[in-house]
Structure 1
Amino acid sequence: MASLADKIYLNSPHFFQGILISFYNYRAYKARYGKFYKDYLNEYKQSEKIKLNELLEIQDKKLVDLFNHAKNNSQFYYDLYKDIHLKEGSSLNDIEKLPIINKELLRKNISNISTIPKNQGVISKTGGTTGKSLEVIYTKKNLQERFAILDLFRNSHGYELGKKTAWFSGKNLLSKKDIKKNRFWKTDSFHNVRYYSTFHIHQKYLKFYIENLIRYKPEFMVGFPSTMYELAKYGIDNKISFPSGTIKAIFPTAETITQELRFVIESFFKTRLYNQYASSEGAPFIIECNHGRLHQDLRSGVFEVLDENNKPTNKGRLVVTSFTSYGTPLIRYDIGDVIELTNEKCTCGNSNPIVKSILGRISDYIYSEEMGKINLGNVSNCLKGVTGVIKFQVIQNVLHEIDIIIQTDESFKKKDELVLLRNFRYRLGNKLKINLIKSKNIHVEKSGKFRIVKNNLNL
């Protein structure tokens, strides 16, 4: 049921809706950019060039501080750690003594995990694309620290708050009148941000998005890359020329970046995409530098990459400990993503270790008993050599069968169907049953995100 505020918003004129959005953002920015924000911004800026051994010393001390805070202020962690102690100088080596927790354990015990009441912090909710949403509490200081880290990253690529920005997020801001008028955006004129709906990325609407982006002339684009990809793909397919030099940088959020996705987005919008990794729960940051390399930010937390036996490996599931999660501590939290590390060094001057690739959520794969796990990148590459597919989604509900839902246009022919199935067979083997289902529209998640792969197995 819609709240009173939602009803007032949806029944207000278009111009007044923009004012309401500006007012909402004013309140949100007030919390994000409070009295601690500038101090954190300066602290992180000054320590950008420090050496790895100093970063590890900072990380070690922060780990002990977080551990003690959680143990002293959370009933859940007190019970979990009552026989465990960490001390400065050896905490990073001893972190494996701490039990690993996952999202379900966090969700079931959330009331005993949080260290402050909701009215003393800022509530953050995960999107729920992998199940029921999770609600965590940030301290006000931690929230401002996280935005300082994020803004420092974006500032390094030219962005500043107030510069004209196109934002693609999960906010459901449109009325029925907007849809009838082919108006798929709302503008916060005070903060110079235009929000584009990610719930209406349909072939018949995409030209209106692109035409408006060209007229609006944003300097930056932020948000779900799957939406930007659909727009870019449509623009390329329809030979639309996006004005060169308009967009200075693109900052994707929430979704995994594949090489194909990056190539298509950068080609159409004629600019660079700069990736960063964090999470609504409060995971530490991985950020892309000007040299195109992904760096762990050791000041924001601890990154462990573990195999199936919880032993360190170069490519495996990511377990994080976040130094900006004092309200709802995340310590050795199995976040459900997979990353690959490398020992290579970067010449940008940042000494933080390099991440070779972020491979996405563990659930973003198809499992074939014959071939093993086929990850998101390989699934998305099944469109190579295929024309006429507007959008597709792969769903696996049972072990021996998958559904491939495709949305096509008139150029999709029988030969394209055969190539598509052949590409999947090459990756999945011959034993898995494939159901090809044609659909007029494939829906996004309630959060506004679109998932190419939905694996509902409990493997």
Structure 2
Amino acid sequence: MGIKEQIYNRSPLFLQHLFTTLYGYQLHRERYGPVYQERFRMLLEREHTTIDVKAEQLDRLNDFLHFCTEHSPYYRQLFASHGIRLPLTDLSELKHIPVLSKEILRTHMENIQTDIAAPIIGKTGGTTGTSLQVRYTIPDMQIRMAHLDYFKATHGVYRGMRRISFTAQDLVPERQQVDVYWRMNRAANQLLFTVKRLSPRTMAAYLEAIERFQPETIDGLPSAMIELARFAKREGIRLTCQPIAIFPTAERIDAEERQVIEEVFHGPVFDQYASSEGAPIVSECRFGQKHLHHEMGIIELDTDGEILVTSFDTHGTPLIRYRVGDRMTLSQRICSCGHPGPIIESIDGRGRAFIQKPDGQKIFEAQLASLVKHLPNSIERIQYVQMTTDSVSIYYVPDAERFSQSDERLLMERLYRLFGRDIHLDVQAVSYIDAEESGKILLVKSSLTG
């Protein structure tokens, strides 16, 4: 645990709200500068214009590939050894560049990263359970935020509106006794709810806080929204809030789950897709169809159905034909919204499996995957197996060169912070984790969830 985290955890509640707001102002400075303004304005201005998507993508792709050869030792050597000549004359030539797997990214991170300033660190575990730490430049982050805000603006939501966010962050110290599971970020007019304290005992307090705040928009992990919505229906709790739009992220939702969220929170749901590593954003339009933000990159379907992403806004840790681990189904139908690209019929891979604690609290995949964020590039893979409610087996594959005793201590600290002391943890370092018959290695295996 770092010094800042220790100070936060030992501070009284009002100071924790203040620290949350101060951090919010720091993020505001990083995310909302001239690059953000320029990209957001461009997206608005070209809203109803005809765009040659392939020509624009080819130009952006060549600019990005040239950048990689100049600033990334890995790509400079890779292009030379495979005879990749720039500029490319057609998008189809992109397939001549070898695929970047998560394992190559993890083990060659130092050479892949560029020699320019990229101070923003992104940590990811993902549903594959591989720990990764990537870097973004400030302009990269501002472009991503411009696209996210543009997506929300198309549904009537703008910066500064009263906003509730469900997050897997450690907002609430373990020793806290009062039922306050949220922190206020006044820099963004945002009430942050931690999903790590969500249980049948605490759900009423969550719903009361939501009712008091009367959000104009809701975003974050949908697992928390779904659990709260189902609890409210069971207990006959009626909310009066009417958010303009609800934006789930990081996890899959089905039609029934979308319906219960909309019914209880009284707002329409619009889905989105990205990745912590920096994949191009996919978002849902007002007609309920998902589209790629083509200005941000290219998505290919590999022969096995998995998607390969090339993201033009990853100048700190460049991603070219990166295998994210998810699958998409594309349609050639044209959407009524006027978007020039194909419709994305489905996105598979964002799991919703969970581990259940003895008190009924569910710990979903997004939280379980985020645990290895604290151990960047030192754990090759992790898996959680639950056969009974009072115990969990945890298997992890440590990197032989990177994983240290301090990493082991940090892993145990984070596990007990996530699961508490009321459930038995059997933690084992292993040399490999078996794949399923489908070939996929699951992050969560549970006899309680099927």
TM-score, structure 1 length as denominator? Answer: 0.77
Counterparts in 2 of 1:33 and 1:70: CA distance versus 1, 3 Å:
same
Counterparts in 2 of 1:28 and 1:89: CA distance versus 1, 3 Å:
same
The aligned residue for residue 371 of structure 2 is none
The aligned residue for residue 84 of structure 2 is 84
Question: Contact between 2:69 and 2:76, CA under 8 Å: does it hold in 1?
Answer: yes
Query: For 1:106 and 1:302, how far apart are their aligned partners in 2?
Result: 18
Counterparts in 2 of 1:445 and 1:348: CA distance versus 1, 3 Å:
farther
**Pairwise CA distance, 1:128:** 4.8
**Pairwise CA distance, 1:271:** 1.1
Letter paired with 1:34: G
* Percent pairwise identity: 32
* Deviation digits for residues 77-125 of structure 1 (CA, Å, limit 9, x no counterpart): 11111111143541x11111110111110011111011135x5432211
Q: Secondary structure at the match of 1:335?
A: strand
Counterparts in 2 of 1:342 and 1:62: CA distance versus 1, 3 Å:
same
Describe how 1:16-165 pairs up with structure 2 within 5 A.
Answer: 16-51=15-50, 54-82=52-80, 83-90=83-90, 92-116=91-115, 120-165=118-163
**Pairwise CA distance, 1:403:** 9.8
Q: Which runs of 5+ in 2 are unaligned?
A: 355-359, 369-382, 395-413, 420-432, 440-450
Question: Contact between 1:174 and 1:184, CA under 8 Å: does it hold in 2?
Answer: yes
Q: 2:243 aligns with which of 240, 247, 259?
A: 247
Q: Which runs of 5+ in 1 are unaligned?
A: 309-315, 365-375, 381-388, 396-401, 406-434, 450-455
Q: 1:258 aligns with which of 234, 254, 259?
A: 254
Counterparts in 2 of 1:446 and 1:14: CA distance versus 1, 3 Å:
same
What count of residue pairs does the alignment treat as equivalent? Answer: 383
Q: Secondary structure at the match of 2:294?
A: coil
Letter paired with 1:130: T
Query: For 1:59 and 1:98, how far apart are their aligned partners in 2?
Result: 16
Query: For 2:123 and 2:272, how far apart are their aligned partners in 1?
Result: 19
* Deviation digits for residues 351-371 of structure 1 (CA, Å, limit 9, x no counterpart): 12210111225xx5xxxxxxx
Query: For 1:160 and 1:101, how far apart are their aligned partners in 2?
Result: 36
Query: For 1:30 and 1:102, how far apart are their aligned partners in 2?
Result: 33
Letter paired with 2:278: G
Describe how 1:171-186 pairs up with structure 2 within 5 A.
Answer: 171-176=169-174, 178=176, 180-186=177-183
Question: Contact between 2:384 and 2:393, CA under 8 Å: does it hold in 1?
Answer: no
Query: For 2:363 and 2:317, how far apart are their aligned partners in 1?
Result: 37
The aligned residue for residue 408 of structure 1 is none
* Deviation digits for residues 45-84 of structure 1 (CA, Å, limit 9, x no counterpart): 22333435x1111001111111121122111111111111
Letter paired with 1:125: K
Q: Secondary structure at the match of 1:233?
A: helix
The aligned residue for residue 321 of structure 1 is 310
Query: For 2:33 and 2:364, how far apart are their aligned partners in 1?
Result: 42
The aligned residue for residue 398 of structure 1 is none
Describe how 1:335-374 pairs up with structure 2 within 5 A.
Answer: 335-361=324-350, 364=351
Letter paired with 1:349: G
The aligned residue for residue 4 of structure 2 is 5
Counterparts in 2 of 1:438 and 1:135: CA distance versus 1, 3 Å:
closer
TM-score, structure 2 length as denominator? Answer: 0.78
RMSD: 3.0
Q: 1:270 aligns with which of 266, 279, 284?
A: 266
**Pairwise CA distance, 1:392:** 9.0
**Pairwise CA distance, 1:27:** 0.8
The aligned residue for residue 295 of structure 2 is 299
